[in-house]
Amino acid sequence: MKSELISNNKSFGGWHQQWRHTSDDLHCTMRFAIYLPPQTEEGEQVPVLYWLSGLTCTDENFMQKAGAHRIAAELGIAIVAPDTSPRGDDVPDDPNLAYDLGLGAGFYVNATEPPWHRHYQMYDYVVDELPTLIEAQFPVTQQRAIAGHSMGGHGALVIALRNPLRYSSVSAFSPISHPTDSPWGRKAFSNYLGPDDGVVWQQYDACELLALSTPHLPVLVDQGTADEYLSEQLKPGALLKAAEQAKYPISLRMQPDYDHSYYFIASFIEDHLRFHAQYFSA
């Protein structure tokens, strides 16, 4: 797999880099960002936190706004942030240019419906293709954690619950917890996956997967009480209820007065990095 360095910036003793590569899964050129902590310059291999961003985002939002580099440098954790969808002139987009479908809104599923199915294979890209590239090209171990925000929180939970042996822990900010019962989720799934048959959609719904996922992973979820999308789109109560019914231990923290923005993420990203660090083996 050949990749091309786009940018390289020193940050807290490590390096923030952007790379582009041709994706076999997505049939387009993709960009990702990676933060390599200073330990890698000393010859160490470090574990990786994969960060999945939300609607309309690229790799840049988290890396520039979350303030994660300082703690990642201290803890010796690499952070990889992929884009949120395939990109390019040949990649289909919503014909109405809506923000919640098409470019910037991949929802981390493997699309089965035309015109989306050729390019929108974000699940396979995040689970298999991107980690294979990262582990071949950079000084990292095969220890992985995964986290995300909003649509990316949905993606992180689903991917971890479906692949518990690939990740040591999972966390999310303001995840779309029950997308089969969310306007955002139902719109995306009906386009990417076709009509709800009671099977396919449920494979991408954290509430449905909690009862099926073993072994159990450590799970941390933060949700702001002032989030404008709280009741209609995010539904953390449904996630908590599903976890209780499945006897799946999760930590769901309702944070008073916080909204859906990166101010919220920046306020608690240190907690999340330290949470993941404790489950990486020495």
The single residue of 174, 222, 227, 272 carrying the catalytic annotation is 227
- Annotation says 216 is catalytic: no
String of DSSP letters for 190-236: HHHH-S--SSTGGGG-HHHHTTT--SPPPEEEEEETT-TTIIIII-H
Q: In the structure encoding, which two tokens stand for residue 70, read together?
A: 């300082």
Q: Are 280 and 79 in contact (CB under 8 A)?
A: no
DSSP state of 121: B
Q: Which alpha helices (DSSP H) does the chain contain, by range? A: 60-65, 69-75, 122-124, 130-137, 151-162, 183-193, 206-209, 236-246, 262-277
The C-alpha angle with vertex 155 and arms to 119 and 132, in degrees rounded to 5, equals 65
The single residue of 150, 169, 171, 177 carrying the catalytic annotation is 150
**Helix, strand, coil shares, percent, the chain, to 5:** 35, 25, 40
Identify the residue whose tokens are 């807290």. Answer: 12
Burial 247-270 (b: 16+ CB within 10 A, else e): ebebebeebeebbbebebbebbbb
SS3 state of residue 241: helix
- Annotation says 227 is catalytic: yes
Dihedral (C-alpha) 48, 52, 58, 62: value to the nearest 10 degrees?
Answer: -70
Helices first, then strands: H and E counts in the chain: 9, 9
Q: Are 264 and 228 in contact (CB under 8 A)?
A: no
- Annotation says 196 is catalytic: no
Residues labelled as active-site residues = 150, 227, 260
